[in-house]
Amino acid sequence: MDTYMSLFILGKNASEMSRPEVAELLYGMPAKYPGWRETQKFMHQVRSEVVAKAAGSRDFLDGELTFKAVAQIVEEIGERYGRWQDAECQDLKGALVKMEHNGTGQVLLQDFYGQALGGAWQFTESVEWLQQLGALDDSHSAVVIPNYVNAASNCLASSSVYSVCCINECDALLGHLEREIAAPEAYPEEILKIVAKLPSATISAPRDLSADLRTRLEEIANHHDGIVPLHGRLFFQWLHYAYPRECPYPHMAGTTNPISRNDWYESNPLVSEEEMQRWSASERPETVSPKAWKLEEDLVTKPKTKRRTWVRNMAFVVAAISFCMALARSASWSTTQASCLLPTHKKQHAC
């Protein structure tokens, strides 16, 4: 089980390795992956639970496990591993939030590398590599917390089918909006009302949204004829402003190059200790603002029609027609009443 899990985490294929290579890989796991000891505890806990649940089965008799039993345990480990491993992601996020600069959702490189110099095994990626991952704000040399946490280099257990990555906390926030709105787009006031009441792991609710957040959302709506598409770069960018520690800053397609942890190891993108010391001793910027707002859209799908705008315009047309018809009926009634009082052949109409 330990051997299987070491191969699983590092994305290796045992059939492509010799027995000595597999043994060497397992022996070096504590150095390659600092969370290895905790992972072993997790595996053994799952093993105990599966064995206890299947007590009396032919595959779990007298303390002996058949191959089928071990396969069942490993399958259960795979089912639970993603959620369990996300606790490590939350620890990583927590460490970054402690270094956060003025609530911006960013960590200055001075503090980022300072932690590595202080003994933290993370935070050793080079500046060039952080740029490639899309986790660096070049304007003031700061690491964007959710972009770093959700970077592909933090994914484990990569295979040709899937990877085990940190759970993107922004997905749950967007999912709540989708359920409340039940449409692919919404008016700004509708979104603001929901977000003001929507908390995150680090944002309390209800809250008063800033004038800047309101202005930016109106800007997106103006860019789309009065509505805000929920599945486009601009709205994801707005979510980053609203939840700077949970929602990653969205880059335009093709501007970043995320890669797997395996490629990360092979590329060896670590910063040198001399470079970390240089950054740690550099002058700190006077002010740090959130990552620059860019009015660049990139929709998942382009809408065929502006449905809500069309409905709104039709509502105006119907209202106008109804008003005109009411005026016409009123005018007709007044004319009829007046004609009733006019004599015809010296006799008054009975109306």
Sign of the four-CA dihedral 251, 257, 260, 261: negative
Residue 202 · residue 236 · CB < 8 Å: no
At residue 243's C-alpha, the angle toward residues 239 and 246, to 5°, is 105
Beta bridge partners of 164: 156
- Domain borders along the chain are 1-98, 100-166+250-303, 169-247, 307-348
pLDDT tens-place values along the chain, 351 residues long: 999 999 988 878 888 999 999 999 999 999 888 889 999 999 999 999 998 887 767 776 666 788 888 899 999 998 999 899 899 899 999 999 999 998 899 999 999 999 888 877 788 888 988 988 899 998 889 999 999 999 987 887 666 777 888 999 999 999 999 999 999 999 999 999 999 999 999 999 999 999 999 999 999 999 999 999 999 999 999 999 999 999 999 998 877 776 655 666 566 678 889 999 999 888 888 777 788 899 999 998 776 544 444 445 555 555 556 655 655 565 544 444 444 433 444 434 333
Q: What is the model's pLDDT at position 120?
A: 76
Q: Name the H helices within the chain.
A: 2-10, 19-27, 29-32, 36-53, 67-98, 109-117, 127-133, 145-149, 169-181, 188-195, 211-223, 233-242, 261-267, 273-280, 307-340
Residue 145 · residue 97 · CB < 8 Å: yes
What SS3 class is residue 29?
helix
At residue 209's C-alpha, the angle toward residues 175 and 242, to 5°, is 45
Q: What is the model's pLDDT at position 27?
A: 94
Q: What is the model's pLDDT at position 275?
A: 92
CA distances from 204 to 52, 102, 198, 230 (A): 41, 17, 8, 22
Q: How many CB atoms lie within 10 A of CB 143?
A: 27
When computed from its CA atoms, the radius of gyration of the chain, rounded to whole angstroms, is 31
Contacts of 244 (CB under 8 A, 6+ apart): 103, 104, 105, 106, 145, 146, 290
CA distances from 187 to 175, 218, 237 (A): 17, 9, 17
* CA–CA dist 271, 294 (Å, integer): 30
Sign of the four-CA dihedral 192, 194, 197, 199: negative
Contacts of 295 (CB under 8 A, 6+ apart): 219, 223, 234
- Sheet (strand 136-137) strand order: 106-108, 142-144, 136-137
What SS3 class is residue 77?
helix
